[in-house]
Amino acid sequence: MAVSYKKLWKLLIDKDMKKKDLCVAAGISHASMAKLGKNENVTTDVLVKICTALQCDIGDIMELTSDD
């Protein structure tokens, strides 16, 4: 299984936010944002900060996908 953050990018578009706006609002580093952009692993702390800033649930920003 792989992680996809496509839901996060759609949510940012819906909220008219840029990635750097999310970095500031959630208090996360640009390195973490770069990892998210590459669908790489990030800590649950980063995901919780994003959910708190966007007032959403973890399922609203990520999903598990098949490796196929």
C-alpha–C-alpha distance, residues 37 and 5, integer Å:
8
Query: Three-state SS for 22?
Result: helix
pLDDT for position 67: 75
DSSP state of 59: G
pLDDT for position 66: 87
pLDDT for position 1: 85
What residue type is 54 in one-letter code? Answer: L
Q: What share of the chain is helix, strand, coil (3-state, %, to 5)?
A: 55, 10, 35
C-alpha–C-alpha distance, residues 53 and 40, integer Å:
20
What's the pTM value of the predicted model, to 2 decimals? 0.90
Contacts of the segment 31-35: beta carbons below 8 A, 24+ positions apart? none
Question: What is the block-wise mean pLDDT of the chain (68 residues), using blocks of 10 residues?
Answer: 94 95 96 95 96 96 86
